[in-house]
């Protein structure tokens, strides 16, 4: 066995140890209302639906057959997370000390680690984005079709498990296509292949995702629309929802004002749940925004600024504080209730660090995108700058979409951007510029 293969196995074993340790410590994982809603679908207590992407439920059902506990998903996420970190460390450095440094610094990086122990679809998304970036880097350093297959599956799952990932996935698909196109012998063929492969790959995985989703509802979009209309109504002190005349004389507006919270959409849900606003709600929403643009933008900026931690001394909902009370009697398996409060104190400490601020990563993403685009213009065949540019641009576009389409100011919505920023920064710092001497060109293998 070669020293590199032995080293790879050693880091794989280290990843297994860390994944097991974190799983045991937080088993079965931090669980919120969203977690239990999908877990109920796993148990068959409610029908599988597309309010949340059903692929996570299908996967969770399989994992539940192996380990009959919600914690089976925590173990799966941790295995992907630490495997991705191990692949990154193994691919970015050859020195053992440097590899270990990358492994533990990235793996224990507060925003990533804290979010990784939740049973959320956002976690499935970000760990597979991390895995996609790691395996594409591994393919660049040591080309293998195995890396390409794993990265393709990871990109697909990241898209399938989070509806709004369609904004960021095309950039990852472009990077995947770049690696595939590099198999062609001439620059001309590589450009043609890149232009063809990227859109075909994106459309293919998107089509597969929609097929898995089945007949979908507009529940996700409608919740955002109703949140915006509620914010405009409260600001204008008037019922700005469609068919308002049918509710005259009722206490609807007073109940709406009492329930409304500017950071999150869920409190107004019960007030609005039994009201039929008609099928043209999206059109009405756009019309209302046009007539109340300043109010709408003020509302959207407030949500965005809370999410990015621009506003206020504390981050908004940086993690879920434990396991919600539930009819299943699920509690931490290895963490006593008294001890869990110590971990909450620890998580509070981590989430108030400067490096936890999403706005820091957004600013860094913008700098990296501009700088890498400039470098790429001077060396169009550079994988380092192409990967940095696509990764950072992916995070920026996801964040821009959050300004308009976020249903709340939850920290977790920024995790894609934080992940791609970390990946981009690692590439800039550790990937050598002298690529010809570092890459084993034309040595493709299984």
Q: Tell me what pLDDT residue 216 has.
A: 58
Q: Tell me what pLDDT residue 441 has.
A: 42
Q: Tell me what pLDDT residue 442 has.
A: 41
Q: Tell me what pLDDT residue 154 has.
A: 98
Q: Tell me what pLDDT residue 438 has.
A: 45
Q: How far is CA 314 from CA 118, 309, 352, 353, in A?
A: 20, 7, 7, 10
Query: Within the chain, which residues score under 70 in pLDDT?
Result: 1-2, 6, 215-219, 245-246, 248-249, 278-279, 434-446
Q: Tell me what pLDDT residue 364 has.
A: 98
Q: What is the pTM of this model?
A: 0.93
């Amino acid at each position: 066995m070669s020293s590199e293969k032995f080293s790879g196995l050693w880091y794989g074993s280290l990843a297994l140890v860390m994944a097991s340790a974190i799983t045991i410590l937080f088993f079965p994982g931090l669980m919120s209302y969203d977690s239990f809603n999908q877990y109920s679908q796993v148990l068959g207590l409610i029908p599988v639906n597309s309010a949340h992407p059903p692929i996570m439920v299908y996967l969770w059902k399989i994992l539940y057959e192996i380990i009959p506990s919600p914690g089976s998903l925590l173990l799966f996420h941790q295995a992907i997370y630490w495997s991705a970190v191990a692949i990154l460390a193994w691919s970015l450095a050859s020195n053992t000390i440097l590899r270990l440094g990358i492994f533990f610094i990235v793996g224990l990086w507060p925003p990533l680690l804290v979010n990784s122990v939740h049973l959320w679809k956002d976690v499935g998304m970000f760990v597979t984005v991390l895995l996609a970036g790691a395996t594409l880097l591994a393919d660049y350093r040591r080309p293998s079709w195995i890396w390409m297959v794993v990265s393709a599956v990871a990109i697909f799952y990241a898209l399938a498990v989070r509806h709004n990932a369609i904004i960021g996935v095309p950039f990852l698909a472009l990077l995947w296509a770049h690696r595939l196109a590099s198999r062609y012998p001439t620059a001309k063929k590589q450009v043609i292949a890149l232009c063809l492969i990227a859109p075909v790959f994106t459309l293919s995985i998107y089509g597969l995702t929609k097929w898995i989703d089945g007949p979908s509802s507009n529940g996700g979009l409608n919740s955002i629309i109703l949140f915006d209309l509620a914010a405009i109504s409260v600001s204008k002190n008037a019922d700005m929802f469609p068919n308002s005349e049918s509710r005259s004389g009722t206490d609807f507006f007073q109940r709406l004002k009492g329930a409304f919270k500017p950071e999150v959409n869920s409190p107004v849900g019960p007030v609005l749940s039994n009201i039929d606003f008609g099928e043209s709600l999206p059109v009405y929403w756009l019309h209302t925004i046009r007539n109340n643009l300043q109010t709408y933008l003020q509302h959207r900026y407030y949500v965005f600024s809370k999410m990015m931690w621009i506003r206020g001394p504390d981050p908004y909902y940086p993690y879920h504080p434990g396991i919600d009370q539930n009819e299943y009697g699920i509690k931490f398996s290895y963490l006593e209730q008294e001890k869990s409060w110590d971990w909450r104190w620890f998580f509070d400490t981590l989430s108030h660090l400067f490096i936890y601020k999403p706005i820091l990563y957004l600013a860094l993403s913008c700098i990296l995108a501009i700088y890498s685009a400039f470098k790429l213009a001077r060396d169009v065949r550079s994988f380092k700058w192409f990967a940095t540019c696509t990764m950072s641009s992916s995070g920026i576009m996801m964040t821009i979409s959050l300004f308009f389409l976020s249903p709340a100011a939850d920290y977790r919505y920024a995790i894609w951007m934080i992940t791609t920023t970390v990946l981009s920064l690692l590439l800039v710092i550790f990937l050598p510029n002298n690529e010809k001497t570092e890459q084993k060109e034309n040595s493709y293998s299984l």
